[in-house]
Amino acid sequence: MTDTIYKGGAAFIDGKYVPISEARIPVGDWGFTHSDVTYDVVHVTDGAFFRLDTHLDRFAKSLKGYRLDPGYSREEMKHILGKCVALSELQDAFVAMVSTRGVPRVYGSRNPMDCDNTFIAYSVPWVDVIKPDVQERGAHLIVSETPRISPKSLDPTLKNYMWRDFTRGMFEALDKQADTAILLDQEGYLTEGAGFNVFIVKGTEVLTPDRGALEGVTRLSVLDLCPELGLEGKIAPITYQDIMDADEVFTATTAGGVMPCARVDGKIYGNDRPGPISSKIKDLYWQKHKDGWHMTPINYADAENPFLVPADA
């Protein structure tokens, strides 16, 4: 058993493990002052990571894209993530890996090479991007008037905290009594929402945007699972009219899984409840977790050895 100080969550920062309530970054860190930071999030369900190696792959891609070096090997980071979960004793958790640019060694410097990059990890209780009761009745979305930030300025396939467009969209949604927003790019094609990918269903086709969106791990999982249900998963351009003509709409994210929607911009899909195909995909996604698909169990009995089997075994 671990120390109860970690019960609310555990973090690794400045080379040591601390309760999540004590995790801090300096105000001079460019991750705070310039949003010069990248991260990834993996979930733990029933005491096991889901697709941990896939998340580490994506984190490595983001680190390279932003020219960040956290100073830890992949295996070291994997161990740290596992230990954070074991310390917290959380069976269902939201687990993050973060690298900030750091604080410049030379005060006032504008040279990113003057910063020592950081590595931060933490495990906190499970988070749902769309609340469970909203998922049950089907989320109500709007298409935001705010366009997605151009990929020419910010690569959407690299994880980042630059959410000004998403935040504006969420305020629009709240003003219209909706749950959240999805964004189009400046050419009118569907991209994503705040922390989630979007899918539309048309017949037996399950489509997700080919631009302006993160290459989500849950998105990948949905595409992997479609053939098992006799569906054709596709990455394709999607217009606003395509959304309006769809049979169903659903969203997908690590923090919540497959989350069906019932309305977009006031249009009601089906019977104003989660659609049958969205529901089947959601059910299969969680059943696969129970079956051990891409799951890596955590050794809670020994935080120094948090994995009994290789990740994604």
Q: Are residues 106 and 172 in the same domain?
A: no
User: Mean pLDDT throughout 229-247?
Assistant: 98
Residues 217 and 191 sit within 8 Å (Cβ to Cβ): no
55, amino acid identity: H
More confident residue, 207 or 311: 207
Q: Which of 126, 154, 173 is the last residue of a domain?
A: 126
Pick left, alpha or beta for residue 50 (phi over 0 → left; psi -120 to 50 → alpha; otherwise beta): beta
pLDDT tens figures, 120-135: 999 999 999 999 999 9
* pLDDT confidence bin for 4, thresholds 50/70/90: confident
pLDDT tens figures, 133-172: 999 999 999 999 999 999 999 999 999 999 999 999 999 9
Q: Are residues 31 and 118 in the same domain?
A: yes
Q: Are residues 141 and 116 in the same domain?
A: no
d(Cα 138, Cα 144) in Å, to the nearest integer? 19
* Summary mean pLDDT of the chain: 96
Q: Are residues 145 and 258 in the same domain?
A: yes
- Does some domain include residue 114? yes
Q: Are residues 153 and 67 in the same domain?
A: no
Q: Are residues 280 and 210 in the same domain?
A: yes
Percent of residues in the chain assigned helix, strand, coil, to nearest 5: 30, 30, 40
Residue 1 has pLDDT above 50, yes or no: no
Q: Which of 90, 105, 126 is the last residue of a domain?
A: 126
Maximal CA-CA distance, the chain: 61
Residue carrying structure tokens 């860190």: 29
Give how many domains the chain has, as a whole number: 2
Per-residue pLDDT at 308: 76
Q: Are residues 258 and 186 in the same domain?
A: yes
* Residue numbers of the domain that contains 232: 132-291
pLDDT tens figures, 17-55: 999 999 999 999 999 999 999 999 999 999 999 999 999
- Does some domain include residue 300? no
Q: How many Cβ atoms from other residues are within 10 Å of residue 305's Cβ?
A: 12
